[in-house]
Amino acid sequence: NSGSERPVIKQLDEAAINRIAAGEVVERPASAVKELVENAIDAGARRIEVSYADGGKTLIRVVDDGCGISGADLPLAMSRHATSKIDGSDLLNIHTFGFRGEALPSLGAVGRLTIKSRPEGEEAFTISTSGGEQSTVKPTALSGGTIVELRDLFYATPARLKFMRTDRAEAGAINDVIKKLAMAEPHVTFILRDVSGGGEGRVVFRADAEIGDLFDAIHARLRRILGAEFAENALLIDAEREGITLTGYAALPTYSRGSSVAQHLFVNGRPVRDKMFIGALRGAYMDFLSRDRHPAAVLFLEVEPTRVDVNVHPAKSEVRFREPAIARGLIVSAIRHALAEAGHRASTTVAN
């Protein structure tokens, strides 16, 4: 025939598979930071310290005081589809950030990854990968918790390297990820350090664990992250409809912004991007704001895991509600109610 050879089907090796998967999970340094900090939160950490150099391109380090990984489990933690968070029989009932078991192997495929860990009452061990090749597990020194270090992200995938933006832009994206996760975890201390050039570096963001009940703690945390003006203009939201609860803070219309930067929705503690949410906010503030102004709100929606699918995208920033109309209706009515009450209070104060 034509002389061209019939293509042969081959099974890809593990390193290639991980590199392909990494393309979806790890878009840029900030997505690596998100995966690592979510792992620390899942591990029950009370203090999470993130360092980066050169916008995260040369170094990302996450230190936590969570439950740790035992030496025997380290090779598994680095392997694909290995997770301690679900048993696979119940994909509908997910209570942790992670469950795919993809982050660490993906990061190990696109950078030089080292994990040191020490669960309570055990010895400390370390493992590393480079170019998808796993080292053996070795003893190391560590007093507790876990340190994950990712160096030279995308060194093995030059095409991806080219798509990275300036150090400044990548650092900004890391900052946004940390602040977003910190909003939902007010009882955890977060420290972000720029260690470009070595040494102790410079603290770029710090939020110490807040004390008090969850509402007070979240209010204090939002003051830290969004500023005093937001905190002083924020109305408490606490509502429920058909088993879905909505809590958080929505700002008075007077604290509107020129963009949607101060709109944050968390579904079961997970930060999500959702058009429904943006639409619901617009609806709630319709009578109070012109179209070019954007309301500010940080809201936490809690719904039984079976009523929302978080397994839409590997980065899990999208969700699918089984009953989007209920969620939307709840957001609109809860905010309208809070705004009406605030308006009422304001007008009676004036009348008296």
Q: Minimum Å distance from CB 101 to ligand ADP?
A: 4
Tell me the helix, strand and coil percentages in the chain, rounded to 5.
40, 25, 40
3-class DSSP state of 114: strand
- 16-75: contacts with Mg ion (CB under 5 A): 39
Residue 146, burial from CB neighbour count under 10 angstroms (0-12, 13-18, 19+): buried
**Binding partner of residue 40 among Mg ion, ligand ADP, none, CB under 5 to 8 Å per kind?**
ligand ADP
| By CB under 6 A, residue 108 contacts ligand ADP | no
Binding mask 13-42 for ligand ADP (x = CB under 6 A): ----------------------x---xx--
| By CB under 6 A, residue 250 contacts ligand ADP | no
Question: Are 234 and 218 spatial neighbours (Cβ–Cβ below 8 Å)?
Answer: no
Tokens of residue 111, six digits: 């950078």
**Binding partner of residue 68 among Mg ion, ligand ADP, none, CB under 5 to 8 Å per kind?**
ligand ADP
| By CB under 6 A, residue 190 contacts ligand ADP | no
Tokens of residue 183, six digits: 């909003």
Contact residue for ligand ADP among 29, 55, 98, 314 (CB under 6 A): 98
d(CA 339, CA 235): 8
d(CA 76, CA 74): 5
3-class DSSP state of 42: helix
- 68-87: contacts with ligand ADP (CB under 6 A): 68-69, 77, 83-85
**Binding partner of residue 43 among ligand ADP, Mg ion, none, CB under 5 to 8 Å per kind?**
ligand ADP
H or E segment at 321? strand 320-321
Which residue ranges make up the site for Mg ion (CB under 5 A)? Answer: 39, 98, 103
Which residue ranges make up the site for ligand ADP (CB under 6 A)? Answer: 35, 39-40, 43, 64, 66-69, 77, 83-85, 98-104, 146
